[in-house]
């Protein structure tokens, strides 16, 4: 067929567009070789047929994972597929075995974690979604299986994500090949931590990327025979040294400079650093800080990583000292010196920075200055010192900074390699190449030239690899490919690196000539390559040249080519830094030979070419794998896809070149099934079962009259354009079929409409007649009803009137009666109130009269009594004049003073032991003192009154005749008065002293009280100690008595005593030394006999329970028997015993049978039952809980308790009772708990392994594929008997349930085991939907839903007692499957999905399912674009949060989700009461206590 027949009217095509690169549209007219296309943007364009490409309208909305499965493999198809996947956050896509990674410019933490690594581990390549882990796993598996070294090449332009992709590769290799080391850091950890170190010193911000690697890196990871990492080596290429001294806005210098300036204050002070913007090498750009990057934090992280990779603290300090010296060196400015054409530091600031740099380099400051400002020219017989002008001095300064930084970076790489170490015995390795991509800027210098040379060489290697893969594919399918020609870029490589005559050779030649300039170099290039088709000269430039690379034309500026190609250290710099007192700095500049001190240079271009050749030789010896990184936009923001930018990167990355190579052969390949399924409509008879797929494919191709195609073993291979021709035929056939269908449908619809109209007319007539009849009948009914209504209405009116009249009469009557009753009540209340008022008034009048009489009586009595008192007072006053009255008062006071003194002395005697009496006495003394004071006061007042009376009497006596008075008596009275005054004063003094003594006594009393309290507490402690000693003494005495009785009994019965050797560690505890007799006394032999009997009892018990002795009353016999024996022997209360160790050995040996679920279940039943009993029985010592069995003595040793129990005492009591356990008992309980957890985990993991093997088959089951959306590893054809897998899972569950029931495992363990198994099934199935696109289909949803129904039926059959809430663990997969089998998903809103359909799923999980979904059965669509965009917005917002989840995959619980309290509360102690002990023990005389 002619190519013009590829397009017909209505065909969907791609046409070129200046803005969007490619635009889709619909063909409206076909005019020969011209097509009129109506684009989706609204434009209408006319294009040539050769410039239009067919569009696949059946491609899925989310694109395909492998672009080799595209119906049309061309530029617009590849671009559209990448864009579709990128907008769904699917950033990885395959092109055959090549991985294309599009930088999302946002965090996608769910793609990179240990869960994802475990999923991709061992998975077949292409089985899961595209990912760097898949590439790395494939390389690792090929290395292990074929014992061939591998290489992974990561390329892309700056900002495309090469560094992050390399990190993920190395993390996966560390995950697969990592091994633990006993001491120090592991090799894989050092490899991973080398990335931050190299990024700090080799990465910088560029216009296109905030963390651009300015060097190439090839990491060789070596593996041993077991596939474990054993060593590594890092090679670096072409560090951009010019960036140290010169940067453009808005770029930054290397990260380490900014980290050091943002370091801790003590570091900045140590190196005399300030802010970053104060240094010349850093402030050439306005960009000092980066958003989202904390330089101070990065500094600490870098120091930590340097320590991990083996750099000591001194080496780290030396490294940053050199970095600081470079910064200070950059701040040294120069001015004209005193001599002509000389230079010197410009000012004091420059002098300061020069001295600081010298101090940091630990070299001579004057020597450093001379090395920068002067140059020594070596001649044949002498050396000449030449001064440098300021400009040349500045260039010398920058040259020193560059060479120092370059040597420092090389030292770092060598140090990392030496620290990690290489394995000389390793034969296999995986190399990871992280190297710069193709670069083309406005100004392209020597660095871009070398970078593009690297990409040309790698592109040649890449093309050869792609062509090799094509050959392998053709050979595998056994088709002829000999005529396919391979065209590579060898001519361009010859142009650059050919010797002699290449660009690099001419550059070296020009550099060796003195006085050569870049213009001289350019003229040589113009003359040499004027006829070369891959070289051209720009029209308006005198020194630029253009090379036609595979990725496009690049124009290079030769201004700095010569300077940047020269690589030698200035001899003065070399000598100066070699003499540095810092060993680190001097090691960077080792001494050179005399011959090397000449001005002969080393070509950087040639050195780089040799490194590149070595790299390619290494790559040629390995099996390569490619990752091409793409930067979707230049603004470095998410969700922006610039078509032109991406298309250019696809060209630069060689992806389009690979497509071109593929198009030279057979770009379209379809399996026979897919081909027949797509184009079977061209000849329907091939769809019958009489033709196989190969025959059907040949018939279809012959029908289409195609030539040049090939039929392989499993695929049809079509030449470029033939797919479009087949689609054109298919479209034509579909159009004709559509017309036929439309004709038949229109005829059918017209007849159907006529029949419906006829039926409707007949029905309408019948309805009309019926309506008229019903209306007549309705009128008759209305008339009859009207008469009845009128009758009823009139009757109701009259009745209402009567009711109203009756109601009014009744209301009036009730109102009148009520008013009369209220009036009567009001009269009664008034009458009662009047009576009350009258009685109260009369009462008040009578009381008032009584009160007045009482007041008058009292007043009269008071007046009379006052008169009598005044009369008596006068009589007393007269009597007081006598001397006897004064003497009596004096003697009375003396007696009272003596009494007070005596009582005070008495108080001093009894205050120590009579506290309460002292208090009462003190109060009594105080009251008596107050009374004495009052009496003294009364006496003084009486004396004063007497003196006044005497004075008044003397005045009256002056009026009467003089009476003779005895002077002696008067003098005596005066003297007595003076004595009384003195006595009163002394009493007051004594009272004050008494108060002071009382206070002191009070203080002494408090001290004595405190001492008495302490003494009482000590007495109580001594009493308690004595009580415990008495109890111990009684216990020992009782034990001795028992032993004596046993010895006497043995002697009387003539029982032979065996002479036994003493045992150092008795099972029931060692005996005290004072109880052991030195000779063979009966006591010693009796004790030995008891020990032997006790050991025999323990051995008998162990031998019995070590076997499976079954169950009794649904409970394990062994557990109950062990508890009864331990309780009877009182082992729980023993301080020392080895019985618990023997029991632990039984459980340990039982755990060795890991594969037998029956044995594990038996011991789980016994251990858990025993644990339940112990949890209910054991209580800590001192908890106050006592055993209900009362004894007169307490046995403290295990032997004593066994002897005591061996007596004839038997008590009926409950099986489980609380006892105070000692340390061995609680230790045994802890060990038993660990065994229960271990047995539980073993049973669960065994069932998981069994179910997992079946689940892997369930996940791989994929129904028939009828859509091109199917993943590339999907299997054609429906697997028969799919239900057998689910039945196998159910059988495993039934087997486990049967084992648990037969071994009487507590139901709580069964519920938890099944819940965790169902959670495991849920996680496996749900995760398969998220990571395997073939599982996220409509038919697979139906299949899994059918299996879930069987699991639900099993849960119902197993009953909640054992199944518990196991079905609830399948909520994730059940909701996801329910969503998959919905037909009209595009009608469902987001709110309905999260609230009704899938409330358990997160938005990340829903988004993943919606983007992965494809319908292989009914061709239904996924959710609408609006819902998908809303989900994507929420996913992006969640990814940007720091506390967001790192994965959308489900984790499975591995621990035992039960506590001791839950286990103990699951069963009642009374359930163990009726367990029958084993008959073997019941027949033994030593175990007769089991019968009770």
Residues marked as catalytic: 158-159, 163, 209, 212-213, 437, 439
Q: Measuring CA to CA, which residue among 1111, 1104, 1168, 1197 is closest to residue 1142?
A: 1104
Edge-first strand order for the sheet with 552-557 is 535-536, 544-549, 552-557
- The answer to whether the beta carbons of residues 1417 and 1338 sit under 8 Å apart is yes
Checking DSSP bridges between strand 715-718 and strand 710-711, what pairing results, if any? antiparallel
Cα 556 to Cα 207, 440, 489, 533: the distances in Å are: 19, 9, 19, 17
855-876: b or e for each residue (b if 16 or more CB lie within 10 Å)?
eeeeeeeeeeeeeeeeeeeeee
Chain centroid to CA 389: how far? 61
The answer to whether 92 and 99 are in contact (CB under 8 A) is yes
Q: 529 Cβ partners below 8 Å, 6+ apart?
A: 495, 503, 535
Q: What is the per-residue burial (b if ≥16 Cβ within 10 Å, else e) of 728-755?
A: bbbbeeeeeeeeeeeeeeeeeeeeeeee
Adjacent-strand bridge partners of 491: none
Phi, psi angles (nearest 5°) of residue 700: -65, -40
| HSE toward the beta carbon, residue 1183, CA cutoff 13 A | 13
* Among candidate residues 1321, 1331, 1322, the one with its CA nearest the CA of residue 1412: 1331
- Check the CA dihedral 658-664-666-668 and report its sign: positive
> What phi and psi, each to the nearest 5 degrees, are found at residue 93?
-145, 140
- For 635, the token pair is 């603004």
Start-to-end CA distance of the chain, whole Å, equals: 103
Backbone angles phi, psi at 181, to 5 degrees: -120, 145
Integer Cα distance of 746 and 733 in angstroms:
20
Residues 901, 902, 904, 909, CA torsion sign: positive
CA 746 to CA 335: how far, in whole Å?
A: 97
In order of 1102, 1161, 1201, 1479, the CA distances from 1095 in angstroms are 11, 30, 14, 20
Cα 347 off chain centre by:
56
Q: How far apart are CA 1402 and CA 1434, in angstroms?
A: 10
Let me know: does 401 contact 244? Beta carbons within 8 Å: yes
Rounded distance, CA 320 to CA 303, Å?
Answer: 10
Cα–Cα distance for residue pair 985/895, rounded to 1 Å: 16
Question: Tokens 């099993």 belong to which residue?
Answer: 1354
DSSP character at residue 29? E
Among candidate residues 1087, 1080, 1088, 1085, the one with its CA nearest the CA of residue 1040: 1087
Q: Measuring CA to CA, which residue among 1268, 1308, 1431 is closest to residue 63?
A: 1268
**Helices 1082-1105, 1139-1150: crossing angle, 10 deg rounding:** 20
For 1272-1283, give the DSSP string. TTPPPSPPS-TH
């Amino acid at each position: 067929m002619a190519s013009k027949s590829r397009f017909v009217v209505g065909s969907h095509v791609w046409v070129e567009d200046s803005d969007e690169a490619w635009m889709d549209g619909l063909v409206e007219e076909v005019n020969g070789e011209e097509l009129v296309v109506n684009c989706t943007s609204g434009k209408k364009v006319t294009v040539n047929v050769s410039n239009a490409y067919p569009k696949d309208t059946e491609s899925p909305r989310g694109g395909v994972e492998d672009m080799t499965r595209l119906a049309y493999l061309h530029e617009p198809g590849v671009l559209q597929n990448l864009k579709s996947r990128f907008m769904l956050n699917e950033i990885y896509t395959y092109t055959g075995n090549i991985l294309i990674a599009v930088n999302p410019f946002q965090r996608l933490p769910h793609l990179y974690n240990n869960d994802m690594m475990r999923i991709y581990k061992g998975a077949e390549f292409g089985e899961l979604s595209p990912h760097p882990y898949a590439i790395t796993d494939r390389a690792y598996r090929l290395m292990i299986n074929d014992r061939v070294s591998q290489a992974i090449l990561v390329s892309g332009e700056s900002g495309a994500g090469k560094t992050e992709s390399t990190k993920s590769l190395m993390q996966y290799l560390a995950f697969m090949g990592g091994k633990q080391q006993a001491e120090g850091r592991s090799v894989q950890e050092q490899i991973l931590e080398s990335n931050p170190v190299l990024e700090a010193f080799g990465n910088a911000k560029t216009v296109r990327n905030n963390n651009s690697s300015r060097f190439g890196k090839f990491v060789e990871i070596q593996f041993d025979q077991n596939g474990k990492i054993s060593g590594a080596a890092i090679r670096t290429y072409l560090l951009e040294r010019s960036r140290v001294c010169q940067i453009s806005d808005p770029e930054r210098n290397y990260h380490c400079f900014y980290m050091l300036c943002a370091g801790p204050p003590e570091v900045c002070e140590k190196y005399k650093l300030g802010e970053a913007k104060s240094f010349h090498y850093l402030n050439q750009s306005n960009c000092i800080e980066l958003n989202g990057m904390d330089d101070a934090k990065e500094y600490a992280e870098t120091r930590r990583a340097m320590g991990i990779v083996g750099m000591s603290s001194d080496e780290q300090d030396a490294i940053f000292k050199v970095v600081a010296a470079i910064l200070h060196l950059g701040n040294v400015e120069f001015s004209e010196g005193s001599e002509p054409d000389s230079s010197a530091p410009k000012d004091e600031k420059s002098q300061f920075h020069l001295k600081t740099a010298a101090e940091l380099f630990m070299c001579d400051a004057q020597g450093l200055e001379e090395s920068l400002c002067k140059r020594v020219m070596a001649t044949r017989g002498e050396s000449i010192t030449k001064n440098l002008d300021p400009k040349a001095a500045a260039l010398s300064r920058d040259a020193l900074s560059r060479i120092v930084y370059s040597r420092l970076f090389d030292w770092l790489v060598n140090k990392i390699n030496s620290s990690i170490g290489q394995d000389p015995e390793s034969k296999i390795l995986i190399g990871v190449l992280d190297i710069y991509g193709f670069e083309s800027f406005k100004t392209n210098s020597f660095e871009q030239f070398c970078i593009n040379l690297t990409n040309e060489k790698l592109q040649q290697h890449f093309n050869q690899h792609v062509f090799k893969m094509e050959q392998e594919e053709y050979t595998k399918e056994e088709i002829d490919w000999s005529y396919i020609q391979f065209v590579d870029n060898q001519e361009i490589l010859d142009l650059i690196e050919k010797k002699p005559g290449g660009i690099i050779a001419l550059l070296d030649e020009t550099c060796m000539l003195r006085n050569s300039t870049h213009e001289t170099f350019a003229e040589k290039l113009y003359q040499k390559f004027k006829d070369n088709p891959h070289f051209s000269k720009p029209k308006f430039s005198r020194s630029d040249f253009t090379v036609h690379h595979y990725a496009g034309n690049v124009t290079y500026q030769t201004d700095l080519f010569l300077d940047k190609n020269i690589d030698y250290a200035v001899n003065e710099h070399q000598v100066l830094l070699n003499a540095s007192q810092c060993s680190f700095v001097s090691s960077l500049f080792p001494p050179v030979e005399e011959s090397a001190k000449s001005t002969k240079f080393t070509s950087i271009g040639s050195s780089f070419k040799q490194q590149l050749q070595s790299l390619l030789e290494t790559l040629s010896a390995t099996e390569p794998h490619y990752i091409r990184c793409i930067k979707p936009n230049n603004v470095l923001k998410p969700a922006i896809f610039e078509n032109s930018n991406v298309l250019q990167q696809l060209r630069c990355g060689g992806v389009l070149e690979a497509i071109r190579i593929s198009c030279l052969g057979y770009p379209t390949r379809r399996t026979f099934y897919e081909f027949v399924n797509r184009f079977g409509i061209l000849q329907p008879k091939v769809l019958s079962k009489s033709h196989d797929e190969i025959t059907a494919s040949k018939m279809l191709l012959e029908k289409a009259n195609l030539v040049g195609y090939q039929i392989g073993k499993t695929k049809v291979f079509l030449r470029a354009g033939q797919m479009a021709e087949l689609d054109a035929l298919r479209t034509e056939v579909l159009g004709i079929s559509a017309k036929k269908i439309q004709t038949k449908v229109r005829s059918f619809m017209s007849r159907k409409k006529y029949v419906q109209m006829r039926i409707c007319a007949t029905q309408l007539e019948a309805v009309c007649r019926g309506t008229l009849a019903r209306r007549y009948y309705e009128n008759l009914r209305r008339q009859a009803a009207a008469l009845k209504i009128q009758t009823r209405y009139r009757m109701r009116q009259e009745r209402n009137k009567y009711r109203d009249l009756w109601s009014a009469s009744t209301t009036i009557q009730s109102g009148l009666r009520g008013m009369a009753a209220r009036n009567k009540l009001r009269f009664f209340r008034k009458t009662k109130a009047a009576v009350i008022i009258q009685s109260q008034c009369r009462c008040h009048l009578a009381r008032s009269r009584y009160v007045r009489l009482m007041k008058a009586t009292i007043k009269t009595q008071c007046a009379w009594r006052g008169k009598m008192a005044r009369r008596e007072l006068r009589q007393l006053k007269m009597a007081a004049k006598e001397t006897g009255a004064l003497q009596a008062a004096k003697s009375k006071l003396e007696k009272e003073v003596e009494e007070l003194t005596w009582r005070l002395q008495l108080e001093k005697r009894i205050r120590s032991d009579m506290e309460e009496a002292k208090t009462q006495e003190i109060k009594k003394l105080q009251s008596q003192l107050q009374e004495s004071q009052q009496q003294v006061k009364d006496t003084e007042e009486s004396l004063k009154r007497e003196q006044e009376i005497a004075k008044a009497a003397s005045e009256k006596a002056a009026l009467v005749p003089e009476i003779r008075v005895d002077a002696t008596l008067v003098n005596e009275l005066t003297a007595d008065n003076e004595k009384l005054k003195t006595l009163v004063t002394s009493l007051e003094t004594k009272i004050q002293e008494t108060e002071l003594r009382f206070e002191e006594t009070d203080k002494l009393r408090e001290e004595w009280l405190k001492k008495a309290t302490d003494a009482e507490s000590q007495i109580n402690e001594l009493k308690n100690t004595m009580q415990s000693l008495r109890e111990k003494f009684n216990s020992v005495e009782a034990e001795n008595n028992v032993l004596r009785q046993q010895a006497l009994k043995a002697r009387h019965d003539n029982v032979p005593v065996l002479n036994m050797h003493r045992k150092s560690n008795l099972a029931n505890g060692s005996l005290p030394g004072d109880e052991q007799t030195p000779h063979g006394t009966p006591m010693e032999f009796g004790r030995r006999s008891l020990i032997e009997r006790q050991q025999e009892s323990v051995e008998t018990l162990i031998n019995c329970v070590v076997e499976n002795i079954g169950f009794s009353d649904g409970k394990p016999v062994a557990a109950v028997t062990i508890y009864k024996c331990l309780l009877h022997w009182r082992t729980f209360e023993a301080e020392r015993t080895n019985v618990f160790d023997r029991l632990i050995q039984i459980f340990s040996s039982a755990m060795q049978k890991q594969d037998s679920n029956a044995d594990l279940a038996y011991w789980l039943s016994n251990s858990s039952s025993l644990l339940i009993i112990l949890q209910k029985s054991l209580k800590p010592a001192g908890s106050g809980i006592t055993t209900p069995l009362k004894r007169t003595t307490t046995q403290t040793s295990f032997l004593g308790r066994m002897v005591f129990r061996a007596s004839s005492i038997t008590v009926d009591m409950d099986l489980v009772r609380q006892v105070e356990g000692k340390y061995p008992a609680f230790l045994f309980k802890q060990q038993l708990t660990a065994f229960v957890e271990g047995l539980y985990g073993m049973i669960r993991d065994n069932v998981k392994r069994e179910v997992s093997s079946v689940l892997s088959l369930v996940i791989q089951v994929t129904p028939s594929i009828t859509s091109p959306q199917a993943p590339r590893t999907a299997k054609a054809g429906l697997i028969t008997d799919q239900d057998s897998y689910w039945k196998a899972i159910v059988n495993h569950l039934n087997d486990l349930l049967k084992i648990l029931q037969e071994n009487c495992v507590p139901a709580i363990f069964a519920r938890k085991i099944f819940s965790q198994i169902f959670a495991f099934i849920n996680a496996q199935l749900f995760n398969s939907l998220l990571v395997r696109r073939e599982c996220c289909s409509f038919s697979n949803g139906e299949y899994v839903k059918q299996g879930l129904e069987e699991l639900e039926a099993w849960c119902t059959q197993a009953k909640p007692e054992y199944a518990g809430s196991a079905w609830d663990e399948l909520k994730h997969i059940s909701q996801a499957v329910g969503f998959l089998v919905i037909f009209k998903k595009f009608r469902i809103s987001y709110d309905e999905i999260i609230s009704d359909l899938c409330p358990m799923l997160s938005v990340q999980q829903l988004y993943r399912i919606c983007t992965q979904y494809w319908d292989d059965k009914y061709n239904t669509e996924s959710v609408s674009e609006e819902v998908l965009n809303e989900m994507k917005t929420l996913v992006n917002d969640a990814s940007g949060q720091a506390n967001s989840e790192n994965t959308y995959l489900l984790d499975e619980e591995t621990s035992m989700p039960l506590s001791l309290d839950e286990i103990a509360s699951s069963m009642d102690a009374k359930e163990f009461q009726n367990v029958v002990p084993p008959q073997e023990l019941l027949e033994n005389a030593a175990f007769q206590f089991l019968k009770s």
